[in-house]
Amino acid sequence: MSGPVKRWLRFEHDGRVGFGVLGDGDIVHEHAGDMFNAPEPTGLRYELSRIKLLTPTQPTKVIAMWNNFHALAAKLKLADPAEPLYLLKAPNSWLPAGQTIRRPRCEGKVVYEGELGIVIGKTASGVSVEQALDHVFGYTCANDVTVADILNRDTSFTQWDRAKGFDTFCPMGPVVATGLDPATLTVTTILNGEQRQHYPISDMRFAVPQLVSLISQDLTLHPGDVILCGTSVGVGSMKPDSLVEVAIDGIGRLVNRYV
């Protein structure tokens, strides 16, 4: 549901992990307790430039969608799926904003996929479409990095989890924004200063309430879990030393270098 926008983040400062709200002037207002359940301000404030960003939540799982945008499906001549098609990103792939995406030891074309991430705020199991948004905390930027050549290398088995599960292959952040209407958002991906993706979330085959409801029929979603909504046209390869940015108005800009 839309409302006053707040940008929550997790950070490390002097060896201590904390969380808070990013305010004006890039000042982080620390909170205590549970980010998803009535957190209280501590009164401590930090300059954003003086803290180390962490992934915006600590998910039990990250669920990544395939074929969820009409424009990309039309380009690839894919039929609309009857239900969400998804895979799980491995925990070793999660990466905060500002940190390095590492080149895997294997050979192959490594591609970026700028995406919107749905952050769960309340345990969801078998929830209806009408109830789904009550279980959403907010939204974040994500990059579903993939070794594209691995996917269909073996004709007997499509290797989704391996291709997308390498170390550092799931950057997320820098914040979780609450109070946004996802249907109004646009994802922009910039590679080395050049815009490569610019697509509306309103083009999704399964909208946010449908994704949360349908996936919760299969898997219990816990606070902090992230659903990556899938990507659209403009996916491309990254060369070593590339700088990739995923920007969504209202959330911010996720910036990582591929080395």
Q: What local confidence, expressed as pLDDT, does residue 95 receive? A: 98
Residue 232 confidence class, pLDDT cut points 50, 70, 90: very high
What is the distance between the alpha carbons of residues 225 and 227, in angstroms, rounded to a whole number?
A: 7
What is the distance between the alpha carbons of residues 58 and 41, in angstroms, rounded to a whole number?
A: 20
In a domain, 195, yes or no: yes
DSSP element (H, E) containing 170: strand 170-178
b/e burial code for range 71-94 (CB count within 10 A of at least 16 → b): ebbeeeeeeeeeebbbbebbeebb
3-state class (DSSP) for residue 133: helix
User: What share of the chain in percent tops pLDDT 90?
Assistant: 98
Average of per-residue pLDDT across 225-231: 98
Q: What local confidence, expressed as pLDDT, does residue 93 receive? A: 98
Residue 2 confidence class, pLDDT cut points 50, 70, 90: low
Which residue range is the domain that position 244 belongs to?
55-258
In a domain, 183, yes or no: yes
Residue 48 confidence class, pLDDT cut points 50, 70, 90: very high
The pLDDT tens digits for 100-144 are: 999 999 999 999 999 999 999 999 999 999 999 999 999 999 999
In sequence order, which ranges of the chain are alpha helices (DSSP H)? 70-76, 129-132, 160-164, 208-218
The pLDDT tens digits for 72-102 are: 999 999 999 999 999 999 999 999 999 999 9
Domain of 214: which CATH number? 3.90.850.10
What is the model's pTM?
Answer: 0.97
In a domain, 225, yes or no: yes
What is the distance between the alpha carbons of residues 190 and 167, in angstroms, rounded to a whole number?
A: 22
Q: What local confidence, expressed as pLDDT, does residue 156 receive? A: 97
In the DSSP assignment, the letter for residue 106 is S
Number of domains in the chain: 1
In a domain, 219, yes or no: yes
Mean pLDDT, the chain, whole residue set: 97
Q: What sign does the CA torsion over 228, 234, 240, 246 have?
A: negative
Q: What local confidence, expressed as pLDDT, does residue 161 receive? A: 95
In a domain, 25, yes or no: no
73 and 79 Cβ atoms separated by less than 8 Å: yes
pLDDT at 1 > cutoff 80: no
